Structure 1
Amino acid sequence: MVVRLLDAVASDFASMSASDLKQSIASAEGRTVAMEAICTDQSPVEGVSHGEIGAAMGADIVILDRYDSLKPVIQGAPDWVIEDTAPLARYRELLGRPVGVNLIVADAEQGASLGGRLATAPHIQRIIDQGVQIITLYVRPKMGGTLDMMLESASTLHELGDNRVLLIGVPSFSKPAPRTEPQMRDYQYEVEALLQSGCDGIGLPMPGSKQGWEPAHAAQLIDAIHTQNGLAWLFLTGSVEGAPTSVMAQLALMSKQIGADACRLDEAGLSGMPPPENILAFSLALRGQRHTYRRMAASIRR
């Protein structure tokens, strides 16, 4: 039986397949907290990495932004992590948490500057070999990325991942929020297509952090995701992840009310991560002291 994420410890996370992790998150009933960090930036505390700070404050999952599989960098991590042929696997051991990265769908020529962050088959295989457990797949229309290209990348990831990588597809946020019926149908089509192409879940903007996104509209899309047996992730973005802690409590409760399975605090706080106190405040509001302090206190040797 898969351990629900609320009760999982480092040894549980280390042995989870993608389907196990998906079930573990789903069984936590909306009480999963993830954080994103710009791994090429210095963390706000010397001598440790962003992910270590986030894990200490109660984050269940750490997502690394700007991680380049061609030139791996995780600022603040020990040398033995980065010098290993599987740096993401070693970083997972260091944190005792699932670790993910962002990959970007773009035209090969226009997206050449992305390096190993570009979602090509060789880059996907390399990052899997480096030990990634979660991939968040984005598309950049301004770099020539299209939905069809994104669906192809999702299928490639699903095939190469072979149940080792949890795949979260992110519809483009560059188009208007789904405030009309045609706009909602457009988002619903994209959600369904991504899930049918191999995504395990869908990432959406958390209402309150992206202009025009209302709780009712997000809830409708979350219902569509759940109908397709996907995980619904809400991303706290737009620098609102750096708002006062009182805002974190409001957004956490709203996210649970509209049905989110997991919430991710993005990296635009200070020094390439959400403020540590906001991770704690969000977790306390979402799941209380009992589960928050257990996550903070549990040894990585468990």
Structure 2
Amino acid sequence: MSRLLDLFGPDLAALRGDDLIRAIEWSEGRTTLAEIVAPRPPVAPPASNLELVAAFGADLVCLNMVSPAAARVTGLDGEGFYGLSEMIGRPVGLNLEPDMPSVPPEYRATEVNARATQDAGASFVFITANPGRGTKMSHLAAATETFRSAAPGVVCFAGKMHAAGEEETIDSATVRPLLDAGAQGLLVPVPGTVPGVTESGAEQMVRAAHDHDALAVGTIGTSQEGADPATVRTLALAAKRIGVDVHHIGDSWISGVASPENIYAYSVAIRGVRHTWTRMAVGAQASREKEGRDGLS
């Protein structure tokens, strides 16, 4: 098995299940994940937002506000997670939310939607909540358990990136039910994003995840993905210090995507220009094995 850092094109796009988890682990905190709001129009047409975040260095892409049965991105003809992954040479996943009245049915982590997610070829899912939903950790834990039971082949990350309309402390105690429910990755707000989440507190959440053999996903879900690059670099290094495995950057700059310059700045901060440029430059159809590409540290 190779590090995610050393995989390209079809080899990277095909990662699923334990292979995806191991490839992330072996990359030692140097995996980037960009989130986009799939129905929003492109910020730089004719390039779609999916293509844009991949071009600026994202290793993984998460689609927000998309139906698992009909995954589409505005500006692209491709449909379904297999097709979208092949087009950009990256694993593609989606957000699902708890089965609550405040959440549209197509975005809920029900058994039906979980099976559709797996059948459609999603690499991973975020069990999380969009702003104003009134979501509690207990809701997320129940949704995580449902999803893991119905779609065991899809890597399941769970947690909050912000309050989601319910004032609730985010700490190592309140996130534990998510890990007990089977989450394979825990969302941890990056210190400096959610008020009250300190570096020491976030580090405890990362340790809790690792103690459960789960990944830690550092998240920026507070519109700071649209801040200046210097701020983003500060957040990136804070996430690196607390030990996250995956670095998520959210979708709330303009038109449902992060600032591409900030995706680039984040990537350079956590892994330097060589790995960043390689991810940006290698085509969606190239592979490490076919092209004779040897990984470096």
> What TM-score, normalized by structure 2, do the two folds share?
0.88
| 1:89-145 deviation per Cα after TM superposition (whole angstroms, max 9, x unaligned) | 1001011101110001032xx24x613101111111112212211100025796575
Structure 1 portions without partners, runs of 5+: 179-186
Shift of 1:66: 0.5
1:122 partner amino acid: V
CA contact (8 A) 2:50 2:73 kept: no
| 1:213-262 deviation per Cα after TM superposition (whole angstroms, max 9, x unaligned) | 21111111111111111111111121111011111211111111111111
Mapping 1:97-112, distance limit 5 Å: 97-107=90-100, 110-111=101-102
Verify: 1:165 aligned to 2:149, yes or no: no
| 1:130-184 deviation per Cα after TM superposition (whole angstroms, max 9, x unaligned) | 221110002579657554443333223223323x211001147333445xxxxxx
Aligned to 1:90: 83
Aligned to 1:217: 201
CA contact (8 A) 1:42 1:76 kept: yes
Shift of 1:70: 5.1
1:93 partner amino acid: E
CA contact (8 A) 1:106 1:144 kept: no
Mapping 1:290-301, distance limit 5 Å: 290-301=274-285
User: Number of paired residues?
Assistant: 283
Aligned to 1:152: 142
Task: Give the Cα separation in 2 of the matches to 1:142 and 1:267.
Answer: 16
Task: Give the Cα separation in 2 of the matches to 1:116 and 1:266.
Answer: 21
2:159 partner amino acid: V
Aligned to 1:57: 56
| % same residue | 29
Closer/same/farther in 2, CA of residues 188 and 210 from structure 1, 3 Å limit = closer
Closer/same/farther in 2, CA of residues 141 and 151 from structure 1, 3 Å limit = farther
Aligned to 1:30: 29
Verify: 1:115 aligned to 2:105, yes or no: yes
Aligned to 1:265: 249
Task: Give the Cα separation in 1 of the matches to 2:143 and 2:265.
Answer: 36
Task: Give the Cα separation in 1 of the matches to 2:118 and 2:106.
Answer: 12
Task: Give the Cα separation in 2 of the matches to 1:117 and 1:68.
Answer: 6
CA contact (8 A) 2:17 2:123 kept: yes
Aligned to 1:39: 38
Task: Give the Cα separation in 2 of the matches to 1:244 and 1:211.
Answer: 19
Shift of 1:17: 2.9
CA contact (8 A) 2:223 2:253 kept: yes
Greater mean deviation of Cα atoms: 132-141 or 233-242 = 132-141
Task: Give the Cα separation in 2 of the matches to 1:28 and 1:62.
Answer: 17
Aligned to 2:189: 205
Task: Give the Cα separation in 2 of the matches to 1:222 and 1:148.
Answer: 19
Mapping 1:182-193, distance limit 5 Å: 187-193=171-177
CA contact (8 A) 2:61 2:90 kept: yes
> What TM-score, normalized by structure 1, do the two folds share?
0.87
Closer/same/farther in 2, CA of residues 142 and 55 from structure 1, 3 Å limit = closer
Structure 2 portions without partners, runs of 5+: 288-297
Tell me which of 250, 254, 265 is aligned to 1:281.
Answer: 265
Task: Give the Cα separation in 1 of the matches to 2:12 and 2:110.
Answer: 27
